[in-house]
Structure 1
Amino acid sequence: METRNSFNRLPVVIIIALMIICVAGIIVAFNYHKIFETDAIKVTGNINNRQNVTGGNKTDAGLNTIDGINSAPNETNSSAGNTSSAGNPEPTVAERNAAHTAHRYSPDFVPGSRFSQNNPENGKPRYVYDSTRIDADGDGAADDVLLVGENDDTSAPFGFQTRNLAVVVRDGVSGKFAAYLFPEDFGFELPRFSIGSFTAAKKNEILVSVETGGSGGIVLYALMAYENEKVVSVLSQEELNKGLDLNIVCLPGFKMKISDKNTGFNSIADFHDGEAVPMYIDRGVYNKAGEFLKDQTYVDGEVMDDVFISLDPADDDGDGILELHGKQGISFIAHANTVAWAESVWSVKGGRLRLVSEKIEAHNP
């Protein structure tokens, strides 16, 4: 009889035990969340390998930590009525959507939300301009990849006056942050990135693009990777952004010979029916008969063969590795006077850009 009563009480004992375990689990989870939010999300000295556009490395003495990171989907920062600590309006939903690309962004770092407290050097907060969640280092865990920076002019549309951009990765295993800080003037408008395999199949690398905002429509690029818990440059920004090295010679009959100095590839741009012909005549470059009246020194000083206005990834041969399709504008006397376009295809091998093909065509507006 006593044995039967013990069995009758057994379910009650089990229920009480389960309740105790659940309460304990909630307490542990709550405390872990507090610890993660206050300590584990700080970037501790991983801003390194600061590199300028000329490819040199500099140590960043002023920004060796990024703390106060907001690791929640900060939807409240996307309201036009909210203000930052400086009293400036936070980015609106429309503004943040204009700043990030088509890939799915990280749910913990919504583009347009504040990323950290103010930069102690200048008192300006940092914002998320682009984000995604992918396995960045191939360890099987999803990492958060971010592009963050300051919104230098709060009166401008969000993403059109950026400064002090950095690629930041939150490791999916350790939860630690690592970052790569670009030079202060590394582009000013619409920072964004695309993820792809540029050096090896199935490897996730980060192609950053930032517009300079000048009349030439120039875009600066950086190719980054997350390796050994560090954000590193795959190749120098100088090499990635230089494009084709071109030489231009004016010919009689309102023509130009455009040549690649390295390969000898050349093309003739004929603009005798172009809108700029009256300007050439007024400036004494050509006469009405099409005779060239200047010398090569003049041409060299008036030609603008800018770096890329676009550098788009595409897998041309289906091997799972992306090539880069670049486009450069060639202008004469004024940026608005585009005379030709130079298109080139590049692969990334051994930390260098390798030219695959090139094409130069006259601009026919």
Structure 2
Amino acid sequence: MRDVPLVDGPVDIRGALDIQAGRKGLMPRRLPAWTKEQYQDPSVDGTTLMPSGVRLVFRTDASELEFEVLTFTGRLATDTGPAPTGMLDLLVDGVLAGRRQAPVGDVMRTGGPDGPRQLVPGEPGTVRFSGLAPGLKHIELWLPQQTPMELVALRADGAVLPPLPDGRRRWVHHGSSISHCIEADGPTGTWPVVAAARGGVEVVNLSQPGNALLDPYVARTIRDLPADLISLKTGINIVSLAAFRLRTFGPAVHGFLDTIRDGHPDAPLLIVSPVSCPAVEEVPGPTTAGRDGRFVATGDPAEVARGALTLSVVRDELARIVTVRQAHDPRLHHLDGRELLGPGETDDLADGVHPTAAAYRRMGERFAAHAFADDGPFR
């Protein structure tokens, strides 16, 4: 087995916009490092380091690959052990050829929601894929979508070469946890990855669980990225955090779109409204987890008349904004999120908000059928 350099070598790290040094290796970031000074909530940094959509891409004639990583699980319940570390998916020539559990590494021990936190350091672990078919092949090693991870080493028993250009278009997507897809069965089971595979495009997933709040630094990031296709799925975090009123929501959407258009005036841009979520369809946020673990809304429905937001209000406002802007922006498009997961499918929301793994795959198939159709916005 020979060591393969992870940077300045034959390996492409795709889906990450920056790399930062970790305790033992390198950590992919899904937002540029310059954005760190523009948010103070540590959850933004934590989700930025969760590598949803991040993969290592190269060619090799090796029959065996070893990947050494150090994971970070964010909690340790005293009676259940570490939180799941997620899966590593290996695609060979575009086909899933192996799936391995990521090893447990660093663990943050907590004493409950408000209890003390203590880091329990771990050691890197090795994931091995063997018995690969002979000959030169295209490799994609997808990282767990829910687990911050340091890339420590890559080893192969054959030659490793850079990937060949394939001419695929680049799709940049931003959304909430429902686009990050922590609950998916693996990194290639998130709905953006499922949709990208069906559409024959490369995806960059900038989704931020709990933090899809039309932040200007995200709009500037998208503005400055190479992108052939762009989508924005927004609404659920805005309602669940009661982050905007109707008066401020509309201008924030316009400003976000204006910034993107500064860098991509002609790219197809698809706005996707929220999927069905009964708790906040007609009741404003904020939301909180109930005793059964399902999310409930705590806002006052009477406040809707004074500008409080529900998912119904958000959907209507997004549709209105797209209609108004289409007069001068014909490549702006709208998709009602209920086309991806509708009111008759809310049993597939495990906690009342987040879809199941099977529902995520269905969402990806439906998005692809709409967006990449002959008359679709990403045709």
Larger RCO, structure (CA 8 Å, separation 6 or more): 2
Which is helix-richer, 1 or 2?
A: 2
TM-score range, shorter chain: under 0.3
TM-score normalized by the length of structure 2: 0.25
Larger Rg: 1
Which is strand-richer, 1 or 2?
A: 1
TM-score normalized by the length of structure 1: 0.25
